[in-house]
Structure 1
Amino acid sequence: MPAVSSAARAVAVTSLVSAAWLLIPATAYADKTPPPGGGIGSSGNSTSDGTISATAGGVFYDRSKNGTGTSVGPVTAVGNWTPPACWYVPTYTAEQFKAHVEPIWSADSTGSQWDNEQRDRYVNGKPYTNFNLDKADKGYWWDSYTDPSYRPGWDACTKPYFWVDKGAPPPADIPEAITPEVLAKLAYAAIRVPTTHVTLKPDGSTKVNLPTWAWLDKADFHPVSVTASVPALNISATTTATPLSLKLEPGTGDATLFPASGECPINADGSIGTPYEAGSADKTPPCGVTYLRATNGTPYNLKATLTWKIHWTGTGTPGSDLPDGTFGQDQQVLVQEIQAVNR
């Protein structure tokens, strides 16, 4: 689903205090040349290597190095942090902007008062004149987009269309205007990592007081990344997620974790934990759990959560770290009593 453009929003209800924008679905103009930043709606572009990369909300995403397959999902940021809920991007040339807004005004669907205010703003010099057609090759009209998940803060981008000259930074008082850092945060939301299904030994069914070994193969858990860019501005950012540690939660208080914190760090070769080898049944696993009570038919839900370190780099900047992300999965474990044989 594409990001929602403020350009295609129904407009303006006035109260005694303020005016508010009413969101309606964006309209895709398939018969028009796409604006520089991708414009309203979404499109797919096939690159030279055959990778399909999507454009949404004026941002171009390259997911060719992302996690793939049916068993992948987004990470959840550690702490009180979420990716941007709305942002501004260059969306129209002067000609495209004129072609977009004039039919809206002519339809009289938004009310003559609002239409006249818009004509004053963009045609009559208050502050723009004739859609900036005299600067047609010198800049772009910017518009706001809202992430379709409507994260907290989705309604923060209420500034109307504004013009930015090529090579000039967007207004400093608009923190949501697209920059390499904002692109990095949007790429964070597009990261997909593999499901955290750990290998267990014994697998599926174990015994009371018998150590259960747990590990992740390095081949299944490797860095993934997404690059987000705005070609009109010639800027991009790449956000990379790298496996950091595994946390085990046994699903019961009647268990002993290894290590005691339940946090299994990543090994030098990229794996986590150590595969079980024959003859190690009585040894302490570097990553695992010992259950102290049988399940009596109802399995325990062992939760394995992988923490991913998130870092970004971007145009003109070495970047920095973003909040770690987590992604986990429950696995059912049956625990049986050890049966003693009396002679």
Structure 2
Amino acid sequence: MPAVRRAPACLASVIAGAMVLASAAAARADFVPGGEGTGSETQVSGGQHQEVISATAGAVVFDRSRNGSGNSTGPVAAATHWRPPACYYAPKYTPEQLERTLEPIWAAESTGYQWDAEQRAKYVEGHPYKDFNKDKAGEGYWWDSYVTPGREGDPGALDCTEDIFWVGTDDDPPADVPQAITPEVLAQLAYAEIRVPATEVDLAPENTTKVNLPTWAWLDGATFKPVSVTASVPLLGIQATTTAEPVSVRIDPGTADAETYPASGVCELRDGGIGEPYAKGRADETPPCGAKYLRSSGDGSYRLRATVTWKVHWTGTGVDEERSLPDGVFGGEQDVVVQEIQAVNR
């Protein structure tokens, strides 16, 4: 579908007002495909109120039951400049809903005669759609853009500039609309929902160590385990599950006067864990993961930073094998006090 001219900037506020009217009129026996994206909507069928659950993000529903949870978790950030889409297209209106949304806007004449006339020609007069495709009710939906939650102020949220378009129930969305919902786009949206544990490594000695004494570092294998989020559009019968697995931790001692183990500072996942817990009697051994400070921190401390790299992959509807997404990283800092070893001369 070729790019087409969008409405004037003032249309956003006009549509918002129109949607209030439309939602009041939506208490009818037609399905609300995407709703407002803010909760649930009620429709009436046969005199009975039925609850139609709209999605957490427009037409997209997230299953976070296998995600990281709690106050000590945070989002992974792609190690590259890549980011999940800030906007996307998904089903939003039935033919009657689109009519109830656009007609009040045109009647208000707030978007200009020329634009209104072009839109009426497009959706009503057969260039290319006729009467909002009401003769195709039940055979497809009108798709429109959504802004990914949390990305409202992102410049990328303005990238979805296509006019509302029709997609038949048995058709794929237009191939030249890259943000149209597909399993791959769902996987990317699920990526943005991934939450992983705060990165604080266990240290031995804990918090306070000595100059030239190897400091062991490791991650709790029970805490740092794979997490995943599934994104789906029930209306379309498509889904994708994005999984993040910890693969390594990079240790930055917080000072140039230190050595890391291994020398690269990157401790790889081995035998289900990263690093190795310290055991009594191994103080003089070289740890598989850790650091050795060469100078005291004086009256202060060094800020050790540990950054975990998470390998991210996904699978979904119509996908036979796992596919990769950019690695994610999430780090944290902790204070390490380094003291001089006190010697007693006799």
Using the size of structure 2 for normalisation, the TM-score is 0.87
2:56 counterpart SS class: strand
CA distance in 2 between partners of 1:73 and 1:44 (Å): 27
The 3 A distance-change label for structure 1 pair 26 and 61 is: farther
- 2:84 corresponds in structure 1 to 83
- 1:167 corresponds in structure 2 to 170
CA distance in 2 between partners of 1:300 and 1:308 (Å): 25
1:122 aligns with 2:118: no
Using the size of structure 1 for normalisation, the TM-score is 0.87
1:195 aligns with 2:191: no
1:140 counterpart SS class: strand
CA distance in 2 between partners of 1:239 and 1:151 (Å): 23
Pairing of 1:257-336 with structure 2 (within 5 A): 257-268=260-271, 270-317=272-319, 318-336=321-339
1:54 Cα deviation from its structure 2 partner: 5.2
Q: Give CA deviations for 1:17-47 in whole Å, capped at 9, x if unaligned.
A: xxxx8755957756536965423232269xx
1:153 counterpart SS class: helix
- 2:108 corresponds in structure 1 to 107
- Structure 2 unaligned runs (5+)? 1-5, 42-52
1:265 Cα deviation from its structure 2 partner: 0.9
1:311 Cα deviation from its structure 2 partner: 0.6
Pairing of 1:157-236 with structure 2 (within 5 A): 157-236=160-239
Pairing of 1:41-120 with structure 2 (within 5 A): 41-43=37-39, 55-120=56-121
2:328 counterpart SS class: strand
1:39 aligns with 2:40: no
8 Å contact 2:65–2:229 — kept in the other structure?
A: yes
Say what the alpha-carbon RMSD is for the aligned residues: 2.2
More helix by share: 2
Instruction: Give % identity.
Output: 58
Aligned length: 320
- Structure 1 unaligned runs (5+)? 1-9, 14-20, 46-51
- Matched to 2:39, the amino acid is S
- 1:11 corresponds in structure 2 to 7
Q: Give CA deviations for 1:242-291 in whole Å, capped at 9, x if unaligned.
A: 111111001101001001111111122x2211111111111111111010
1:246 counterpart SS class: strand
8 Å contact 1:41–1:57 — kept in the other structure?
A: yes
8 Å contact 1:38–1:57 — kept in the other structure?
A: yes
Q: Give CA deviations for 1:139-176 in whole Å, capped at 9, x if unaligned.
A: 10000122342445322210100001111011122111
- Matched to 2:186, the amino acid is L
- 1:143 corresponds in structure 2 to 144
The range that moved more, 23-32 or 250-259, is 23-32
1:248 counterpart SS class: strand
8 Å contact 2:34–2:93 — kept in the other structure?
A: no
The range that moved more, 234-243 or 149-158, is 149-158
CA distance in 2 between partners of 1:36 and 1:271 (Å): 47
